[in-house]
Every structure is written in C-alpha cells, then in structure tokens.
Structure 1
Amino acid sequence: MSRPELSIVIPCFNEAENVRAICDAVTAEARKIAFSHEIVLIDNCSTDGTRAIIRALCAEDANIRAIFNNRNYGQMRSPTYGIYQASGDAVIGMGADFQDPPAMIGPFVRQWREGAQIVLGQRRSERAPFPLGWVRRVGYALLSRFGDYPVIPGATGFGLFDRKVVDALARWHEPEPFFRGMLVESGFRLAVLPFDRPARAAGESKNGFRSLLAFAISALAGSARSLLRMPLLVSILAGLMTLALMFGAVIALAAGGPTMPLAWLAVGTGAFTLVMLSLGLIAEQVRLLAERSRNVPLVIEEERINFPPGAPQAAGPAGKPPAPR
C-alpha cells in the first residue's frame, strides 16, 4: 500500500455548509506543497446532510476518504481516532469551519521538513462570546498552573504531527485523549507557528458552554493529576462564593437587616463546595481508570469509504496497540 506524504484529517459534525469548501481549499494547498496527499473526513454522526456531501466528495476524488461513526463520540475521541487512521508520513489535524486556515498547511509542512516532529498553530487572539471565552481562558489558566506538563496558550490541536508521533500516541490507549496535551507531554521536537484565527465560514459552532465545560473537566482530570493533591481550583471557587455571600451580608448590614445568617451561610456553602468539587475530581479520575480497564475503542465505525483494501485500523480497542503498517 502506497503511503501518502501528507494526510489532512478533518472531523465533521453538521458541517454541510462547509465540508465541500474546506476540501477544495485543503486540496489546493496540499497540491502546492506535498508530493502526495489524502484527506480523511471523520463524521461524528451528522444529521444535516453532511454525509451525503461527503459521499459525493469521495466519489469525485479518490484521495478523499471518509469514516462514519455510528454515534457522536464527542470532540476528544472522534478527531483523535481520525488522526490515528491517517496513513501519511505527516498528519495535519484541522477543523472544517475555516477557523483553522488551510493557508497554514504550507508553513506546517516546511517546518516539518526542516526537522520539527510536531508543528502547532497558535492563535494570536481569541474570538468567543461570554461565557465560552471565559471557560476557555480559565481552562488554559488552570492547565498552565496545575498541569503535569506545559500547556501552549492558544494552541488548540491544529497542527502537523510526524508519523512517529502519531504511532507513539496511538499506543497510549487514552480513553478520552486530550490530544493537544499529549503532544506536548510526548517530548518530540516541537515548533509553534502563530496565526490569526479567521471567523467561522458558515454555520454555528457545535462547541457550546456545556461541551466546552465537559472538555475542560476531562482535560483537567486527564492531564492535571496534581489537582488531587492541590485542590486550589476548588478553594478559589469556594472563596468566590463566600465573598459573594459576605458582600450580601454587608448589604444587609447597611440596610439594617440580619448579617450573621448570611455570614454562616457563606462559611457553610464554601466548605460544601470545597468537598463536593474535590470529590468530583477524584470521581473523574476513577472514571478514567474504569474506562481504561474496559478496553473500549475510541469510536465504533459504521462505514468507511475510499480506504485502500487491507488498510489497518489503528487504535481500535483502547488496550491494544495499532496494527503494524
């Protein structure tokens, strides 16, 4: 089986407005820089017609391959699985909505050819409404402070990864892989390329407050184990609640109302929050350990299109190494 020099992996979920345009743009950039390429579209059970467009793209271009998941596996497992299925000497992971600009493909490949094994795009600025932007900032701050390894601010996982990097990370068998953190933790030679993040081309972002919060919790539990020994996050949250209640007590005092009940409530609520959030982080760790012991795959495929006959499926069961290439 001939291996392409470059693979571009694009996860999709309800991207009917963008998927054809992103494939056209990526194909144009790949042809400029790579000797050969493939595009791997991994669809996370879209419901808006994305799959029909992907089928048409695969019929038009044999270099476009597709994986259809049998359900939505979230924004950590599905994109990572797609990267593990790519066969190129270098693999680029990027979004379908043009917020990861295809024009960065050329600079990524040039950095890789100069010796970098990981090339990460770093956003110079963040465009996100409150509370999404707040969740992202707090998440990065906490990972930077408590993470087991350095976190690169503004690096979302958009970048290029050498074949050795992809194969090594596939053997880690992470049930909910925080891929951008795993890249840094791996210790491979890393380069960072800043870029200006454009606005989303069309459609709406699928990363709402709840999904980003769940992502942040999983990332913290999986890559910030020191939080179990240093529950400063919980202390800060409890302190903010206590300050709010104490502020209410001051207002009550100024208005001539009772103050002690609010003060005692502040103390009790702060202690309760501290205990519950500490237990929540421990429970998240236990959940990840349980997932590892279950030996579950990152995703279950419903169908794949345009992959060469006999192409191995890497990173299937989480507890088994990828098949040799």
Structure 2
Amino acid sequence: MSEAGGRKLISIVVPVYNEEGNIFPLHEAVTAVFAPLADRYDHEFVFTDNHSEDRTFAELTALAARDSRVRVFRFSRNFGFQRSIYTGYIKARGDAAVQIDCDLQDPPELIVEFIRTWEAGSQIVYGVRRARKEGLVITAVRKVFYRLIDLLSEDRLPLDAGDFRLVDRRVLDVLRRITDDKPYLRGTLATLGFVQKGIPYDRAGRVRGESKFSLRDLFGLALDGILAHSTVPLRMATYTGLAVSVTTFLGIIGYVVGRIFFGASWPLGFATTTVLILLSLSLNALFLGIIGEYVGRIYQQVRRRPLTIIAESIDASGARATDATRATDATRATGATSSDAEQGTASIRPPGGAVTDATFPVPGDHHIVDVATRDR
C-alpha cells in the first residue's frame, strides 16, 4: 500500500519459468523506468517461479540479496502460467499491480503510460498488441484464438490484449474472492466491470531464451477461455440435437407419405446407412466430449485443491507466516470469522522437512498454500 511518505506502491508481478538469462535485464529495465518517478511512486517485484528447471531461482535469490524490494515465490511444481499470474496478484502489496513477462517483449517503458491512465481514473489498463515479431503461423493462430473466444463468449473481451496490464488495488481485492480452478484472467478481468482502457503498442521479439508457450498451450488456454466464459458449446449441442431430430422427423413423415401415396420406398444401400450411423455417433461423441469438459471443470472446482503450492519464498520482511497470520489474512480477505479461517489450516510435510502448518482453501482464500517462507 501507499508508503508513509505519501508515495504509492506499484507491484511488478513477473511469472517466470526457465528465464535465467532474463532476470537481471528485466530488473534493470523496470528499475530504470521507475527512477524518474521515485518522488511519487515506490515499487516492489513479485516473482512467481513456476518450478524452473534451470538457474532461474538461483538468479532470483542473488537478485533478492541485492534488492530488498524483490520478493520471490517458488512453486512446488509447474502449476501453469495463469495460476502463476494469479498468485502474483494475491501476493502483491501495492496500490496497483503491473504484470509483465520476463522476456522483455512487452516494453517496460509503457508502465509509465499505464500509471498515468490509472491516475486518470481507469482501474484496469491493458496493452493491446498492434504488431508482434513472431512467425506468421503463430501470429495467425493467436488472432484466430482471440476472435474465437470473443465470438463464443457471452462477455465482450478485448481483442489482441495479452496479460501485460495494470490492475488497481480494488480489483485485486475482488480477485481475492474468486476461486476458479482454471483461471483465465483476461476474461475474468474483462467481466468484472470497473473502468478499463487499452493502450496500443508494438510487441518486440525475444532477445534471450525461447518461448515456453507452445501451440498446444495456446489451444489449452483457448479452451479454458471459452469454457470459463461461455455456455455456447452446450447450446450448440442442444441446437444440433434439435435440428437432427427435426430433420429425422421430417424424413420419417416424407417416407410414410411417399410410401402410402406414391408407393415409393427408401433407396437401398449399405453406404447410405453406414454414413448416417457414423454421423450420428460422431455427433454424440463430440457433444458428450463438450459436456464432459464442463463436468470435469465442475469436478475439479468442487475438489478444492490448491491452485498453487509455494514451496520456497524469499521476502524482504524475513518473517515466516504463522497460523495466526494466515487466519487473519483469510478473515480479512473473506469477511469470515476467525474460527472460520482457523478451520482452513492443516499440516503439510515438505520433502525432507518437518511438518509445517499451512492454510487449505477457505472461501476466498484462493487455493494458495504457502508452506515455506525463506528468511534473508
């Protein structure tokens, strides 16, 4: 929150996975952006490490030793990009949070424009990609992806907007009460209301490392976006079933009329019968699959498993979260009583370590389990 001297705090949320070569360059670039703003704004870094397999966490540890504004949360495994951002938002302490990718494809200089637009009254400020230096295939797939979600969604989602955005504290507080098992933050934020504005920019190419987002990941993200914000696929199943039923009924009537009045019979042929049967089976399988996707998401949601598990963390405070602290945080986030929050605690044994008390999800606690805070 705002510093004692009246300066506002901006949290820079950075999800990382195998980005060892980009940690220090990103830190330097963002720090340079805030240098002229030091009289009005302070900033912190919130790195969420999705269990990187290279030296990313070692680089983050070294960076945190040099800069007390750096906070690091390392997950027990890779929980996915959207959950990583979500956890960063929950851990952010600022009056606003800016999410930026570690690869520097999104220009840190645009943060100044984000802040200016935020101060003018917008609660959500997002970047809109005019151009991006990627292959033609992946660029075309992304464009189709955004427009498909917008077409099928029951909510209007901004086109060509990624996750480079600023989110006001009031919006972050609302996010604390949302417990989607498969969060799709672009859609979730777009549906919350508030004053939102897009800022166009050109996205640069990668200088170091390689993208961790494959076509398969993009397809999965598209599926999450559609199923999280639309019941159109279910309605398609209903409408298609209705159309097939009507067509079948009309066909039966036509056959009966032709048989009675004209002596006509249905043309014989194994191929025709086989095609009709296969078409029927294919439609059934397709729409059962769609229904299964929705049912599967309901099943995952009611299981209330953690969205993320923080196995190791580095924080400037150097304080380890206690049961009382976690209960207080849960109470503050949800408006529940202290006893309600306390009922969300349980014991977890980290690999090779002692039993550690951790908070399991209570309503609004975001399914984030923190089992370790590492002192400086």
TM-score range, shorter chain: 0.7 to 0.9
TM-aligned CA distance change 1:264 to 1:128, over 3 Å: farther
Q: Indicate the larger mover: 20-29 or 64-73.
A: 20-29
Q: Which residue identity does 1:175 align to in structure 2? A: D
Give yes or no for the alignment of 1:23 onto 2:27. yes
TM-score by length of 1: 0.83
TM-aligned CA distance change 1:227 to 1:23, over 3 Å: same
Give yes or no for the alignment of 1:286 onto 2:295. yes
TM-aligned CA distance change 1:271 to 1:300, over 3 Å: same
Q: Indicate the larger mover: 298-307 or 184-193.
A: 298-307
Indicate conservation of the 8 Å contact 2:2/2:95, yes or no: no
Give yes or no for the alignment of 1:48 onto 2:91. no
In 1, the alpha carbon distance for the partners of 2:102 and 2:297 equals 29
Residue pairs, 1:91-102, within 5 angstroms = 91-102=97-108
Q: Percent sequence identity over matched residues? A: 34
Residue pairs, 1:1-325, within 5 angstroms = 5-33=9-37, 35-129=41-135, 131-231=137-237, 271-308=280-317, 309=319, 317-322=360-365
Q: Which residue identity does 2:24 align to in structure 1? A: R
Structure-2 residue corresponding to 1:246: none
How many residue pairs get aligned? The number is: 299
- Deviation of 1:79 (Å): 1.4
Higher-Rg structure is: 2
Q: Indicate the larger mover: 214-223 or 184-193.
A: 214-223
Indicate conservation of the 8 Å contact 2:49/2:74, yes or no: yes
Q: SS at the partner of 2:203?
A: coil
Q: SS at the partner of 2:126?
A: strand
In 2, the alpha carbon distance for the partners of 1:109 and 1:21 equals 22
TM-aligned CA distance change 1:275 to 1:319, over 3 Å: farther
Where in structure 2 are there 5+ consecutive unaligned residues? 242-268, 334-358, 367-376
Q: SS at the partner of 2:154?
A: coil
Q: SS at the partner of 1:41?
A: strand
- Deviation of 1:264 (Å): 8.2
- RMSD (Å) for aligned C-alpha atoms: 2.8
Where in structure 1 are there 5+ consecutive unaligned residues? 236-259
Structure-2 residue corresponding to 1:245: none
Greater RCO (CA < 8 Å, at least 6 residues apart): 1
CA deviations 1:15-41 (Å, max 9, x no partner) are: 011111011111221333352110101
- Deviation of 1:162 (Å): 0.3
In 2, the alpha carbon distance for the partners of 1:114 and 1:179 equals 23
Q: Indicate the larger mover: 63-72 or 119-128.
A: 119-128
TM-aligned CA distance change 1:56 to 1:211, over 3 Å: same
Q: SS at the partner of 2:41?
A: coil
Q: SS at the partner of 1:153?
A: coil
CA deviations 1:88-147 (Å, max 9, x no partner) are: 000011111111210111000011111100001100124443653343233222211110
In 1, the alpha carbon distance for the partners of 2:237 and 2:133 equals 30
TM-aligned CA distance change 1:127 to 1:65, over 3 Å: same
TM-score by length of 2: 0.72
TM-aligned CA distance change 1:291 to 1:23, over 3 Å: same
